[in-house]
Copies of this chain bind each other. A is one copy, B any other.
Amino acid sequence: MEILEGGVTSPCGFKAAGVTAGLKRSGAPDMAMIYSELPCKVAAAFTSNLFAAAPVEYDRDMLAKGGVFHAVVVNSGNANACTGAAGLADSAATAAEAAKLLGIAQDEVLVSSTGRIGVPMPMDIILGGVHKAVPALSEDGGAAAAQAIMTTDTRPKSFKVEITVGGKKVTVGGMTKGAGMIAPKMRPARPPQATMLSYLTTDANIEKCALQEALEQALDLSYNRITVDGDTSTNDTFMLIANGAAGNPEIKAGSAEAALFTEAVAALAGRLAREMVLDGEGVSRFVEVNVTGAPSDRDARTVAEAIANSALCKTAWFGGDPNWGRIVCAAGYSGVQFDPKKVNLDLAGMPAVRNGMDAGVPESELAKAVSVREFSIDLNLGCGNGKFTVWTCDLTHRYVEINADMHT
């Protein structure tokens, strides 16, 4: 599936905006809006952090009502988390103001926030931003919206994919932000965990349950696989918004068309997730950790996450140090049971460990192989068919710098 330049306004019938409300000291854009005149079905997943932010609680309530939606308002610069009843009222007031200006009902608007936890929302700035965003809505607004949801991201992340359903072109566009507080652990039944906001729009005409199914399957092949720092945010949100403007015959759950649509969503979400890791805070290397031969997929995931979140592995990768000892060490303390003597490990396609011991490739060769922007680790535990892949990154001076600085 080819990933194309594009974004949330690539599908028919969507407008978007990105404006400066004034939440960020830097003066950078900090409010995005997505709007469809046609009513939208929305599938969504949210953080499983117990300290779910006010907008997450608000959206969950709105989605539980089962209605249709026309707009999403997203602010960066303040998370509206740990803000109690006042925070919830602020989310509602934001939705109400957008609804009033758009001529729709309040419960047809969803809201998201990202930024610092525990700071009351400056509602004059938020409402001022809504007033700027509505008139700025445009069919070309996808790029501006992708810019406005950024926090410590260094670049916007926005793409589209296209498929054909019943002779009609169906487009899925999407944008995401990430950078820090990025951790996997998403399962269809368990909503995403990571400081990420991700919005996918589509003009597909599709059954609600097929839409939800596509979102859940895409999770497993995208956000499900990533970790930057193992920290899981209070505000994570992944939405798939469908307005039916493509005019295709309705995609039914379980059909070949649903499978194709799911493939498109997964491809787009996968690319966005990958870009999120590549643009993680201070990242200098992208590392794919493939664990195979585990007792179960779940065990493979546990091992892959132990490696991906190991401070010692991540700093070694930063240094271009093959140091396979740290990798097998992390596997060894992960809690998963296996026989160390059966373990094989390849670094960037070169044998590093055979039967739990050094494979004999000179360290200088391994060092050269891992001193690249992207490489993979293939760890075979030799004791089953379980497998899992995690996408992660190194731990750099820049990560420490960004996060030791106050107010990020």
Contacts and interface: CB of A to CB of B under 8 A. Distances in A.
Nearest to A228: B311
B231 A329 contact: yes
A203 to B, nearest CB: 35
A231 B399 contact: no
Interface in A298-335: 309-312, 315-316, 318-321, 323-326, 328-333
Q: What copy number does this chain have within its complex?
A: 2
Contacts of A180: 312
A399 B316 CA distance: 11
Interface stretch (A36-44, A58-66, A75-83, A384-392): A75-83
Interface stretch (A47-55, A136-144, A215-223, A287-295): A47-55
- Contact size range, A: 35 or more
Contacts of A81: 325, 329
Contacts of A402: 315
A24 to B, nearest CB: 17
A148 B315 CA distance: 26
A357 interface: yes
A405 interface: yes
A328 B117 contact: yes
A326 B84 contact: no
A181 B325 CA distance: 12
B183 A321 contact: no
Given A231-B326, A233-B329, A315-B400, 17 more contacts: A50-B338, A51-B329, A51-B332, A51-B340, A51-B356, A81-B329, A84-B356, A84-B357, A118-B358, A119-B358, A230-B310, A231-B310, A232-B329, A311-B399, A318-B404, A320-B406, A321-B405
Q: Which 6 A-B pairs have the closest CB atoms?
A: A117-B325, A319-B404, A315-B403, A232-B333, A51-B332, A49-B332
